[in-house]
Structures are given as structure tokens and as C-alpha cells.
Amino acid sequence: MEPESPIKSSPPPGAVFLSYAAQDAEAGRRICEALGAAGIEVWFDRSELRGGDVWDRKIREQIHQCRLFMPIISANTEARVEGYFRREWKLAVDRTHDRSERVAFLVPVVIDSTPEQNADVPDAFRHVQWTRLPSGETSRGLIERIRRLLTPEGSSEENRARAPVSNVATETPTPPGVVRRQRIQYVRTADGTRLAWAQAGAGQPLVKAANWLTHLEYDWTSPVWRHWIQFFSTHFQFTRYDERGCGMSEWRAGALTIEEWTADLELVISTAQIDSPITLLGISQGAAACIQYAVMHPERVARMILYGGYARGAFSRGDVTAQRAYRAMVELAETSWEASNSTFRQVFTSRFIPGATPEQLQWFNELCTKSTAGAVAGKLLHARAELDIRELLPRVRTPTLVLHSRNDEVVPISEGQCLATEIEGAEFVELDSRNHVLLEHEPAWLRFQKEILAFARQEP
């Protein structure tokens, strides 16, 4: 909050302190009203005003007494190297030095497309979970999270499940239901793009090529990807990374071609210092990078698993109607990705997990704005549509397992059948599902696990 407003009254115990630049007052008001309507006390200088107190002393008292500190981050805060909100941020960070690391206190929110990786914020903000609330439109998920954090149990549980993320190696404690730790590190590509990669588990090395909409930390406890990570890190030394332009990797697209995607996969494998032949896992467009890597380095790949994959993008499949629909989706992604109205994101994500619960859909919707910006999303979608590596398929000599959901709404099963047909000796498994991302409760997920373990036990 900015000091041009009168002084607030002394806060009640358990309130949330909302800190914002003056230009973001309207977004702050929306957040304040949404939390207030849910019965959560919020300290907001335009709704709780009283004159006569010394501003700086009062602010210090309020930050010292609040239960949670919520800084609003935006292009406006990025543009301002000075501002009273920055003093509030420093006071909040100072308070964390006297608090147990097990108890959550900082709850940053971003109200536009400002990427967290490059944001001008205190380092302490980078060590906790951020939430995107376009224009201050507050999600039910955030409200429930704030309610949980205002209880001693919820606050301690969230901080136990998180760890600092920086340009050096970091450790993430094991959250409930996940049996391994993950170690997150960064590496720079030849063109200077910063990639985030993670490793968890022990055993045969299995490396997953990057695929659409991931975030190394959020996925770790998510209702959509959590069971995937638990399964692979339990049975393998599991290495994965966020693709360029997404998640914890740098949010600038740079070049987006199969050559760059394969080079990124190669870089992560090299950086992880995996000496023995690996199992490659390609999900969706990640299949293409795995295929090219296997053709380039057959001696380094023991086996390859392709799920929901394809060798040709939407613009190369000969379906004019589908091409028009896809181009419209790209345009909408560029213009509506961060919109306060989540209608487009709801339509977009429901195609990936049509069998999801409301909680899973809500999480996937929020992942859209947490994992990339609209302009980058449009470029990524367009690059995928132009992909065509069919000429590589007959050159694959790696034992390959292809799995595909029968009624996949994102990538038709015919694309998986194409992979299995053109890759010599490939096994094909048709899964009884509509979901592009298999969900934990469905029988197809059990079948998927059994097929993976059986395939992995085979001698290459």
C-alpha cells in the first residue's frame, strides 16, 4: 500500500496484510473484497482507515502483528525502483528472520503476466509459492489456501512442502504422499536460456523430455501430476525439466524448433552426468525430442517410452477444419491467457483432462498462468503445430513402447498408431481413457504403470 492514504486502524489478530503499489489499488480492492466475503480479515488501507497515527510506525506494527503478508506483484511494481510498498516488503522479509521456517508467512500474488523468475522482488519471495490472480480476480483455490494457512497445521504443512529455488542446487522436502525428494538445479543453454531441471529417486535412469504446461515445484504436490512423479521417482532415477518459456525455466521463448528441444534434452542429460544407457520418456510433444535424440545417440538410449505422442503437428495432419480450430486457439492463447475471465483457460484445459474432478480442473486452470505467459503460450502452440519428424521414425533402432488413450481429445490415437507403425518393432498399448494426462483414480493409470514396469524389465 502507498502512504498517500490515511492510516489504518490497529489490526485484529489473524489478518492478512495486503501490500501493493498505488497503481494496483483496484486489483487490491478485488482481492480484499473476495477474502473479506469469505470471512478472512484483510488489512487494506482503503477499507480500514483512521487518521492521527504516525504512518511508518503504524505500518511496522501491522506487519509485525499480521498472520500472513500478501505482496501484489505486477508490471507496476516492476517499473518502480522506489515506492513505499518496497519498504513494506523489506519489513516483511525482516520479520521472517525471527520466525520458524516451518510456518508460512509470505504469500505473493501476481496480477498480470510478470514472470516470477525475473521479477524485481526480495529473494525471500522466490522461496515460496506464488499465485496468479489476473487483474485481482481471486480464485476459490487461493481463498481455501489462505484459510488453511491461517491454521497452525496448514501453515506448517505448506512450508514443510517447499524449499528455496535459486540458481544453485536446492532441496525440496518430501510432501505427504510422495516418497522421494527432488533436487532442482539450473543450467544455461547455448543461446543463454536458463533451464530448470530436477532429479528424484534411484535406480535405472529415466529422463522425461519436457512437455506442455509443467512447473517443477507446483507439479510436485499437484492433483494432476503428483502420482506421475511419485511412480517414476519410486521405480527410477527420475530426471525432468521445464521447457524453455515455461515453469521454472526462463520465460522467454527464443528459438522453438525440434533442434532446440532436442538440444535442451541433450544438455539436461549431460548436466545430470548420467553415464549408463537411459530410458527416455516422451509425453505429448516431448515424444519428438526423444525420437530425435534416440536417432542421434542410439548407444546412449536403452529404451524409449512414448505416451500421447506424435510425429506431426496439427498443421501437418491434413485436416483443414482442425487446422482452423487450432489457429483460433493459438490466437486466443495470445490474447486471453491472462484474462480475468477464465472461460478460455477452462475450455483449453478441459481437453487435457475431461475426466477430472473440479479440484483437478481448478488446479490445471491456475497452472496455465503459473507456467507461462500468453505471448509465449501462443508461440509454443504454433511451434508444436508445425512439427513434422516422420522421416526420423524408420531410423529409430531403440526398443520402443507407445501408449495412447483411446479417446484422447488433444492428440488423436491415430498419431500414436502412426508412431507404432513407423518405428520398427515398437509395442503399442491402447488405454481406455479420454484423458491426455492420465488421472490417478482411473483404471487406465494402473494399466499404464504395469506396462511401463514390464517394459523396463526387458533387456535392451
* pLDDT per residue as tens digits for the range 244-273: 999 899 887 677 899 999 999 999 999 999
Mean pLDDT of 220-240: 92
State the average pLDDT over residues 172-185: 57
CB of 402 closer than 8 Å to CB of 408: no
Rounded to the nearest 10 degrees, how much is the dihedral formed by the CA atoms of 346, 352, 358, 359? -110
Question: In this predicted structure, what is the pLDDT of residue 363?
Answer: 85
Percentage of the chain lying above the pLDDT 70 cut: 86
Looking at the DSSP assignment, which residues form a beta bridge with residue 307? 283, 403
39 plus 64 within the same structural domain: yes
Same domain, 395 and 256: yes
User: What confidence score (pLDDT) does residue 126 get?
Assistant: 75
| Banded pLDDT at 45 (limits 50, 70, 90) | low
Inform me whether the pLDDT recorded for 116 exceeds 80.
no
Q: Is residue 2 part of a domain?
A: no
Instruction: Determine, yes or no, domain membership for 50.
Output: yes
Q: At what angle do helices 152-160 and 140-149 cross, to 10 degrees?
A: 110
Q: How many domains, in total, are found in the chain?
A: 2
Answer yes or no: do 46 and 186 share one domain: no
Residue 253: predicted pLDDT: 66
Q: Residue 4 domain-assigned? A: no
Domain ends where: 160, 185, 220?
160
Question: Mind listing the pLDDT tens digit for each residue in 428-460?
Answer: 999 999 999 999 999 999 999 999 999 998 655
Comparing 168 with 113, which gets the higher pLDDT? 113
> What pLDDT score does 173 carry?
38
- pLDDT for 222 beyond 50: yes
Residue 229: which CATH number?
A: 3.40.50.1820
32 plus 154 within the same structural domain: yes
92 residue type, one letter: A
Asked, for residue 10, whether it belongs to a domain, the answer is: no
Q: What angle do CA 241, 244, 246 make, to 5 degrees?
A: 80
Question: Rounded mean pLDDT of the chain?
Answer: 84
* Proportion of the chain above pLDDT 90, given as a percent: 49
Residue 139: CB partners within 8 Å, gap ≥ 6?
131, 133, 362, 366
Q: Domain residues for 97?
A: 16-160
State the Cα–Cα distance between residues 111 and 304, nearest whole angstrom. Answer: 41
Q: How far apart are CA 288 and CA 310, in angstroms?
A: 7
The neighbour count for residue 115, using CB atoms within 10 Å, is: 15
Pair (369, 429) in one structural domain: yes
Confidence class for position 419, pLDDT limits 50, 70, 90: very high
C-alpha cell at 157: 504443512
User: Residues 126-171: pLDDT tens digits?
Assistant: 777 788 788 888 877 778 888 888 876 554 444 443 433 333 333 3
Contact of 444 with 354, CB cutoff 8 Å? no
Per-residue pLDDT band at 340 (split at 50, 70, 90): low
Final residue belonging to a domain, choices 130, 160, 190: 160
355 & 431 share domain:
yes
pLDDT score at 260: 92
Sheet holding 109-110, edge to edge: 42-43, 16-19, 68-73, 109-110, 131-132
- Supply the CATH number for residue 141's domain: 3.40.50.10140
> Is residue 337 domain-shared with residue 269, that is, in the same domain?
yes
Cell digits for 197?
531441471
Q: For residues 44 and 103, state if they share a domain.
A: yes
pLDDT at 103 over 90: no
Please tell me the distance from the alpha carbon of residue 346 to that of residue 366, in angstroms, as a whole number: 10
What three-state secondary structure class fits 53?
A: coil
Model pLDDT, residue 117: 63
186 assigned to some structural domain: yes
Would 165 be classed as within a structural domain? no
- Tell me if 6 is assigned to some domain: no
Q: Are residues 156 and 183 in the same domain?
A: no
**Hey, what's the cell of 170?**
536446492
Lowest mean pLDDT among 38-52, 80-94, 163-177, 285-299: 163-177
* Domain-ending residue, one of 160, 192, 208: 160
- Which grid cell sits at 302? 536403452
- Whether residue 347 is predicted with pLDDT greater than 60 in this model: the reply is yes
Residue 321 sits in the same domain as residue 396? yes
My answer on whether 109 and 189 are in the same domain is no
pLDDT of 175 over the 60 cut: no
Q: Phi and psi of 401, rounded to 5°?
A: -115, 125
User: Would you give the distance in Å from CA 307 to the centre of its chain?
Assistant: 20
- Assess whether 205 and 89 both reside in one domain: no
Q: Which three cell numbers stand for residue 45?
A: 488501507
Alpha helices in 307-412 (DSSP H): 320-336, 343-350, 358-371, 374-385
Cα–Cα distance between 313 and 323 in angstroms, integer?
Answer: 10
- Any domain includes 5: no
pLDDT of 218 strictly over 70:
yes
Separation between Cα atoms, residue 287 and residue 258, nearest integer Å: 11
